[in-house]
Amino acid sequence: MIHHASVDVSDLERSGRFYDALFGPLGWRRQVETDEVIGWGIVKPVFFASTRRPAGTGGGHVCFAGHGIPAVKAAWEGGVAAGGTDDGAPGSRPQYGPAYYSAYLRDPDGYRVEVAVSTD
Q: What is the pLDDT of residues 76-110, one digit of tens each?
A: 999 999 999 999 999 999 998 889 999 999 999 99
Would you say residue 11 has pLDDT above 80? yes
pLDDT range class, residue 1, cuts 50, 70, 90: low
Which domains can be identified in the chain, with CATH numbers?
A: 5-118 (3.10.180.10)
pLDDT digits (tens, 9 = 90+) for 61-82: 899 999 999 999 999 999 999 9
Would you say residue 12 has pLDDT above 80? yes
DSSP of 11-46: -HHHHHHHHHHHHGGGT-EEEEE-SSEEEEESSSEE
